[in-house]
């Protein structure tokens, strides 16, 4: 499956068109794209190497072509206050050709609240000069310079993209007109307290190569009609997912071969499994098969200049609950510029007269409008809020707008993803106090961060707290030290622990009870759900967030107010594409290959679903038949393994099911999703074959503690002397053609063969002589042969079935389960998280004050909504949610602990509930159907003694309380749903 979104050989519609079919040229487009932008930008695909070790996660988002285009772009950032430095660090991390920092102002005390690269000793110095050294440390591939002069038209011609922050409206219009006329892409960004503004002008004709960043869709074909409509029907295993207006191309069609390799054809969808392509009446008759694949077509977009779009703005809505807000803020920001021009200052914080004056100026600006920008009526309340906080500079707002602005710079440089058209306004006025009372929070707060990982090179591309010399250091310690440099007065502590059941002695009751809230930055669902359970139990706010490429989300969990993270589940993932499935299965196979441990059998046989015969046979081969004693043995094993996997097994399969095999209904067996394979003939002249042997032999050698080799010539000579047994197809071999057949076969075990193998295995004492070294899969070490083996093995299997190969980069993404990541999305999500943190710190109580958020910067799309309220349940006439529970003190006033009998009586007397079942975790402590003898034994035992007896685990000294789950009947003897019990013992 190709990862290339666009062929370089296509020409724009309207040019001469040649197609491989009789499809109308109006529906088939070819595009010849020039990659030589104006202003001296180097050609796309320059000779600069991309450091995949550094940019790996970003490459999965942008792709190599876009990265090369970005490496040819010179960017100017004007204004180095909080917003400017946020944009700069994202762009530098991203890897443009060069960044120039411009500022004519000096560092002031107020800058230190949001400009994280300024220190107290920098006060009075030029902001650009001071920031340049620290920003340059982020990426050695990006030259960073500072400029403190006037921005002249001549100076601007050096750049492909210009970003203006902290600039006057007059300057924006003047420079904007020049940039628009000279093909220089312009971005204007501004933040004022809890308000933000972003504007983009990328010229009158910009080509977007990939509008959404999604992988091209693909579907298998079951039928194509031969008529004027050319209706394509896909297999009904899954919806095709195409939309009308999409372009597709075809491969592997049998019969109607005119479609194979044709130019992209525009389609019209007719249903979830069908779509129309073109007139196919003159084509050959369709026989069977075929794959249809979506083609990413370039799209031309046009921008108006800043001066033109002021009167006729096009807004990107960020919050549908604030539908009229962009138009209001469009007037408000213009009024701010007028105020600043008039007074040489911004409105004073929460000054009523300044607020009234800003409203009056906004009315004047609005009255002068003649285009669509004019508002029927101004929202004076929101204009006054803008005035009251215009002098403020908040890091979270800078992070959000700065992340968006930096992503727009990348779009401008690469043509990857759809740009913002053209104005974006954002506000977070919900962060203001709910009761309009402003409280000054003074106290000894503390931030605790924990991460058990060390810093890797790939982390440097999206983490501005780390530097190249920090690689191999602990993440948490390094991050804490970097934060202390930015704000010496902050209390921050770094831990190196995984948060989970194993560390509950550290993160115990005392620890969680001391917290005011938790923020998650986790990379798996299990860890998220664990932290969610802990926060619910301790009734602590949780800020849950995550990113996936250009997508990001934030969820707010507030005690007694919202549902928890675990209350809702994500939809199941889509089925794995063929190429992905191959790499995944080969990763799993390689893991089993690497872990040839004598004790593997004993451990594996205890696993649920383990197949004894399969496990024992694998161990028998590892310790007896396939045990190597030299490098030559390893090579011989690898060569024979190649023969078995890619030749013999395929020949046996074709012996059982020949290419012309028919099903019982008379249909071809090899059709639809079942591709007919062909065996591979090994050759030392085939690089892929040699890659496989080299990797497999070295991995086996490592597992058995033998020296390996990377000498290709020596390997070739050894292979020439290896005798591979001739393959003779076996009769009576059962090949399972479905998962159900395989499961049924696994259910029956050949006991005689199992016992025979056990007798042939070496004794436990004898296995001590074997020096086996289990190897854990590691994707990021390019010298350990792990990825070499997976890439070679998966692509050989793909060749068996005529599936396009996957390159090393894509294979590493799949095998390593890598999450695509980019600094811009991370910055924007962090900004949103910190805005919600401000609300938590202030103690907001209203559900509508909080915002769950989702965004996709590629589209771009933003969606904000109130969190879902915690679902309510009824116990008698009392409402309760997941945040409620019964609190029971286990230790009575006498100092004795409550017994089971007293526990049951307590609920019967105090809550009119008869407990029918009582459990703690997976341990059943009591049930109404329990044998009388066992019940009598437990009734007068203390509760903790019953717990330790049933669970067979001692309670740690850190445990202050236990959680019990109840099943109860009320007075009418009907089942009732009740909260859980928190049983305090210390």
Give the 3-state secondary structure of 54-68.
HHHHHHHHHCHHHHH
Give whole-number Cα distances, 741 to 151, 226, 623, 748, 850, in Å.
Answer: 73, 38, 30, 11, 52
Give the DSSP letter of residue 255.
Answer: S
Of 790, 623, 651, 643, give the one whose Cα is nearest residue 719.
643
Cα torsion 874, 878, 884, 887: sign: negative
Side by side, which strands form the sheet with 551-557? 518-519, 542-548, 551-557, 852-856, 861-865
* Cα distance between residue 644 and residue 679, in whole Å: 10
* Cα distance between residue 880 and residue 873, in whole Å: 5
Q: How many helices (H) and strands (E) does the chain have?
A: 29, 32
For the chain, the distance separating the N- and C-terminal CA atoms, rounded to the nearest angstrom, is 60
* Cα distance between residue 166 and residue 603, in whole Å: 64
Give whole-number Cα distances, 469 to 117, 134, 474, 902, 944, in Å.
Answer: 18, 14, 12, 62, 51
* Strand, helix or coil for residue 585: helix
Return the half-sphere exposure (C-beta side, CA atoms, 13 A cut-off) of residue 959: 15
Stretch (H or E) spanning 791: helix 786-800
β partners of residue 274: 233
Q: Which residue has the tokens 């063929």?
A: 578
Contacts of 666 (CB under 8 A, 6+ apart): none
278 is catalytic: no
Contacts of 243 (CB under 8 A, 6+ apart): 269
DSSP per-residue letters across 297-344: --EEE----HHHHHHS--EEPS-GGGTTHHHHHHHHHHHHHHHHHHHS
Stretch (H or E) spanning 197: strand 195-201
Compute how many other C-beta atoms are within 10 angstroms of the C-beta atom of residue 42.
18
Residues present in the chain in total: 986
Helices 943-951 and 900-910 cross at an angle (nearest 10°) of 120
Integer Rg of the chain from CA: 33
Of 625, 776, 785, 810, give the one whose Cα is nearest residue 692.
785
Give the DSSP letter of residue 512.
Answer: H
Of 912, 598, 911, 600, give the one whose Cα is nearest residue 772.
598
The active-site residue out of 579, 676, 834, 968 is 579
Q: Give 492: exposed, middle or buried? Use CB within 10 Å, 0-12, 13-18, 19+.
A: middle
Q: Give 415: exposed, middle or buried? Use CB within 10 Å, 0-12, 13-18, 19+.
A: buried
Q: Would you state the structure tokens that stand for residue 732, as one six-digit string?
A: 């009576």
DSSP per-residue letters across 729-757: PPTT-----SHHHHHHHHHS--HHHHHHH
Stretch (H or E) spanning 192: strand 185-192
Give whole-number Cα distances, 84 to 96, 198, 333, 711, in Å.
Answer: 16, 13, 18, 52
β partners of residue 197: 190, 425
Rounded to 5, what percent of the chain is helix, strand, coil?
40, 15, 45
Q: Give 316: exposed, middle or buried? Use CB within 10 Å, 0-12, 13-18, 19+.
A: buried
Catalytic residue ranges: 579
């Amino acid at each position: 499956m190709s990862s290339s979104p666009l062929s370089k050989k296509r020409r724009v519609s309207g040019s001469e068109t040649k197609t491989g079919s009789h499809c109308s040229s109006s529906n088939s487009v070819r595009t010849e794209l020039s990659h030589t932008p104006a202003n001296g930008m180097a050609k796309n695909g320059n000779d600069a190497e991309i450091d995949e070790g550094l940019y790996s996660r970003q490459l999965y988002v942008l792709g190599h072509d876009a990265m090369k285009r970005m490496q040819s772009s010179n960017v100017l950032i004007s204004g180095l206050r909080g917003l400017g430095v946020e944009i700069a660090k994202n762009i530098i991390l991203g890897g443009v050709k060069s960044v120039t920092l411009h500022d004519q102002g000096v560092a002031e005390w107020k800058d230190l609240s949001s400009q994280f690269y300024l220190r107290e000793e920098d006060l009075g110095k030029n902001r650009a000069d001071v920031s340049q050294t620290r920003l340059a440390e982020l990426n050695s591939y990006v030259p960073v310079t500072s400029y403190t002069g006037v921005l002249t038209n001549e100076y601007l011609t050096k750049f492909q993209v210009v970003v203006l922050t902290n600039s006057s409206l007059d300057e924006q219009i003047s420079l904007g007109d020049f940039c628009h006329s000279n093909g220089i892409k312009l971005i204007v960004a501004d933040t004022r307290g809890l308000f933000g503004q972003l504007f983009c002008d990328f010229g009158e004709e910009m080509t977007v190569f990939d509008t959404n960043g999604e992988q091209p869709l693909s579907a298998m074909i079951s039928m194509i009609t031969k008529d004027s409509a050319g209706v394509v029907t896909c297999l009904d295993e899954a919806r095709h997912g195409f939309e009308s207006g999409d372009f597709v191309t075809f491969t592997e069609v049998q019969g109607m071969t005119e479609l194979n390799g044709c130019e992209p054809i525009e389609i019209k969808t007719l249903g979830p499994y069908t779509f129309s392509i073109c007139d196919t009446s003159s084509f050959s008759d369709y026989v069977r098969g075929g794959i249809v694949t979506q083609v990413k077509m370039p799209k031309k977009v046009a921008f108006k200049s800043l001066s033109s779009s002021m009167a006729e703005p096009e807004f990107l809505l960020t919050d549908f609950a604030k539908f009229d807000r962009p138009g209001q803020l469009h007037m408000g920001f213009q009024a701010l510029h007028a105020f600043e021009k008039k007074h040489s200052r911004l409105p004073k914080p929460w000054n009523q007269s300044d607020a009234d004056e800003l409203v009056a100026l906004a009315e004047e600006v609005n009255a002068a409008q003649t285009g669509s920008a004019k508002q029927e009526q101004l929202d004076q309340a929101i204009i006054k809020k803008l005035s009251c906080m215009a002098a403020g500079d908040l890091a979270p707002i800078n992070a959000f707008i700065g992340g968006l602005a930096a992503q727009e710079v990348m779009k401008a440089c690469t043509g990857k993803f759809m740009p913002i058209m053209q104005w974006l306004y954002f506000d977070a006025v919900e962060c203001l106090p709910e009761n309009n009372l402003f409280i000054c929070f003074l106290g000894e707060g503390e931030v605790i961060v924990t991460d058990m990982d060390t810093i890797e090179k790939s982390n440097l591309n999206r983490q501005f707290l780390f530097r190249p010399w920090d690689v191999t250091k602990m993440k948490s310690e390094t991050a804490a030290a970097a934060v202390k440099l930015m704000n010496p007065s902050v209390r921050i502590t770094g831990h190196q622990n995984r948060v989970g059941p194993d560390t509950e002695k550290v993160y115990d009751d005392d620890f969680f009870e001391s917290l005011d809230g938790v923020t998650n930055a986790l990379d798996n669902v299990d860890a998220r759900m664990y932290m969610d359970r802990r926060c619910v139990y301790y009734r602590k706010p949780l800020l849950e967030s995550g990113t996936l490429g250009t997508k990001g989300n934030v969820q707010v969990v507030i005690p007694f107010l919202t549902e928890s993270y675990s209350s809702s589940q994500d939809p199941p993932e889509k089925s794995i594409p063929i190429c992905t499935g191959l790499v995944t299965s080969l990763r799993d196979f390689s893991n089993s290959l690497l872990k040839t441990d004598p004790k593997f059998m004993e451990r594996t046989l205890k696993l649920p679903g383990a197949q004894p015969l399969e496990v024992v046979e694998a161990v028998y081969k590892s310790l007896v038949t396939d045990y190597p004693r030299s490098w030559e043995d390893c090579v011989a094993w690898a060569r024979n393994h190649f023969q078995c996997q890619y030749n013999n097994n395929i020949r046996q399969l074709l012996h059982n099911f020949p290419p012309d095999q028919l099903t019982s209904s008379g249909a071809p067996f090899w059709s639809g999703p079942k591709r007919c394979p062909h065996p591979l003939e090994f050759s030392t002249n085939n690089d892929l074959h040699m890659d496989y042997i080299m990797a497999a032999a070295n991995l086996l050698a490592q597992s058995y503690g033998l020296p390996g080799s990377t000498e290709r010539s020596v390997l070739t000579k050894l292979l020439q002397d290896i005798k591979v047994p001739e393959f003779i197809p076996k009769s009576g071999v059962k090949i399972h053609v479905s998962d159900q057949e395989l499961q049924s076969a696994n259910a029956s075990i050949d006991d005689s063969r199992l016992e025979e193998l056990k007798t042939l295995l070496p004794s436990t004492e004898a296995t001590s002589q074997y020096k086996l070294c289990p190897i854990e899969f590691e994707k990021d070490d390019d010298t350990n042969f792990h990825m070499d083996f997976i890439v070679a093995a998966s692509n050989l299997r793909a060749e068996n079935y005529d599936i396009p190969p996957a390159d090393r980069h894509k294979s590493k993404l799949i095998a390593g389960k890598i999450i695509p990541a980019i600094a811009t999305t991370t910055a924007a999500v962090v900004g949103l998280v910190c805005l919600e943190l401000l609300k938590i710190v202030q103690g907001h109580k209203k559900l509508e004050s909080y915002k769950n958020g989702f965004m996709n910067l590629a589209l771009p799309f933003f969606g904000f909504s109130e969190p879902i309220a915690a679902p309510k349940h009824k116990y008698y006439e009392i409402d309760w949610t997941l945040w409620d529970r019964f609190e029971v003190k286990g230790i009575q006033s006498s100092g004795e602990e409550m017994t089971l009998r007293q526990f049951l009586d307590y609920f019967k007397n105090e809550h009119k509930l008869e407990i029918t079942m009582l459990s703690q975790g997976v341990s059943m402590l009591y049930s109404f159907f329990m044998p009388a003898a066992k019940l009598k034994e437990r009734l007068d035992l203390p509760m903790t003694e019953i717990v330790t007896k049933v669970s067979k685990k001692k309670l740690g000294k850190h445990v202050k309380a236990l959680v019990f789950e109840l099943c109860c009947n009320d007075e009418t003897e009907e089942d009732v749903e009740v909260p859980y019990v928190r049983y305090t013992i210390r």
